[in-house]
Amino acid sequence: MRVLVTGGAGFIGSHVVEALAARGHEPVVFDVRRDPASDVCDTAAVARALRGVDAVCHQAAMVGLGTGFEDAPEYVRRNDFGTAVLLAAMAEAGVERLVLAGSMVVYGEGRYACPRDGVVRPGPRAVGDLEAGRFEPVCPRCGAELLPGLVDEDAPVDPRNVYATTKLAQEHLAAAWARCTGGSALSLRYHNVYGPRMPRDTPYAGVASFFRSALARGEAPRVFEDGRQRRDFVHVRDVAAANLAALEASSAAGALTVLNTGSGEPHTVGEMARALADAHGGPAPVVTSQYRLGDVRHITADSARLRAELGWKPEVGFAEGMREFAADR
């Protein structure tokens, strides 16, 4: 199978390219980092790249929270306009198979249960609560403490920052493309992906990259809030394997399928910082009580559907992956 990998020279995309090649497929890298003419927003360039292609693995995106709302136009241009250009070119070329790099950020806050009111969905956290160090969401009905749980793919979406909004828009565009063309689209909603080749020293990288960069400078990782926010840290090679499984699997024509893609092992951000610091040899993390508007408190999802439908399972454990990541200088 000849597969166009947008963002194929990037962090996740480069691992997808390797996984495809190792399986005997023919990956075609389309990435401005390799070739300035390979811009997913350029209709002519995308059309040329799609010649002879059987499927597309769309990894190209602007990621992270960025530096502020002033980044919004660029997020929308790269993520949503670029996806629209790609899908229109696929429709013209008759390419009928898409795997999309989705994100768990589309859910907003994770799943919460109240002892009295059952499953509830807390709204965005108030600035006053964050300033006072009250980081845990409370029940919107009775104000009780909540128990965080796992989100499945049927949960309502509630994007809470620009990046999350653009990732949800990508899925809507993919769904519209599938309905109009009869193509098959599958979105892998990634959790916190980490591993070799993760970008360094950029406001658009993930928290694991921030911590590793601090340790490389001999500085303590600075952990926001109280460090107890729950996430699912999934290794990039496992994410690449999920993309390979998605490309090789049969999926519904004329529809979008979404599958959570995580390790299935929730850890706190503080745990991750300590694991990296221990593997690096220090210094120990510092909990700062700082916060970022747009961050959610807990988001961990149930990836059982991906395992059941595609036969995928993660192979890199948390401790092993953090040791490798810390050594990736």
Segment 14-50, tens digit of pLDDT:
999 999 999 999 999 999 999 998 999 999 999 999 9
pLDDT of residue 124: 87
pLDDT of residue 60: 96
Domain boundaries in the chain?
2-110+151-327, 111-150
pLDDT of residue 329: 66
pLDDT of residue 206: 80
pLDDT of residue 64: 77
Architecture of domain 2-110+151-327 in this structure: 3-Layer(aba) Sandwich (3.40)
pLDDT of residue 205: 67
pLDDT-flagged residues of the chain (< 50): none
pLDDT of residue 204: 58
Q: DSSP letter for 195, please.
A: -
pLDDT of residue 250: 84
Helix (H, G, I), strand (E, B) or coil at 188: strand
Residue from 107, 163, 190, 194 carrying the catalytic annotation: 163
Sign of CA dihedral 195, 64, 41, 176: positive
Query: How many CB atoms are closer than 10 A to CB 145?
Result: 11
pLDDT of residue 59: 98
Q: What's the rounded Cα separation, in Å, for the pair 291 and 233?
A: 20
Query: How many CB atoms are closer than 10 A to CB 126?
Result: 11
pLDDT of residue 41: 97
Q: Alpha-carbon Rg of the chain, whole angstroms?
A: 20
Hey, which residues does 28 pair with through a beta bridge?
Answer: 4
Active site residue 204: no
Q: What's the rounded Cα separation, in Å, for the pair 91 and 7?
A: 20
